[in-house]
Amino acid sequence: MKQLFPAKQVMGFVFSLILTAIALAVYFLDVSFTAGLTILIVTAFVQALLQLIVFMHAGETKDKWSIYGNVYFMIFIALITIFGTLFLFSWDM
């Protein structure tokens, strides 16, 4: 039974619950908008990386750099799309 629950994945799960609890602080505690957004950005991206490495086994095979390269490139394009649009339409720069 014990071998069905590998320590690495159990720790990953506990850690992602802790990150969720930290993110909840922005709702339950009185934090400024900037501080709150900073907390959310950190907890969300750490949690996404955790999923990628611990649960999706991204770094296990010979083609790991093709996998990471593809994912990081798409995240880069995604961020350009989101912030590029915000620059133009919301922040008026």
Minimal distance in Å, beta carbon 89 to another protein?
5
- Residues that bind another protein in the complex, under the rule CB under 8 A: 3-6, 9, 12-13, 16-17, 20, 23-24, 26-27, 31, 33, 36-37, 40-41, 43-44, 47-48, 51-52, 54-57, 60-61, 63, 66-67, 70-71, 73-75, 77-79, 81-82, 85-86, 89-90
Distances (CA, A) of 69 to 33, 62, 65: 33, 13, 6
Q: Are 15 and 50 in contact (CB under 8 A)?
A: yes
In the 8-state DSSP scheme, what is residue 1? -
* Nearest-approach distance from CB 55 to another protein, in angstroms: 4
Measured CA to CA in angstroms, residue 77 lies from 14, 37, 72, 83 at distances of 31, 21, 9, 10
Name the minimum Å distance from CB 51 to another protein. 5
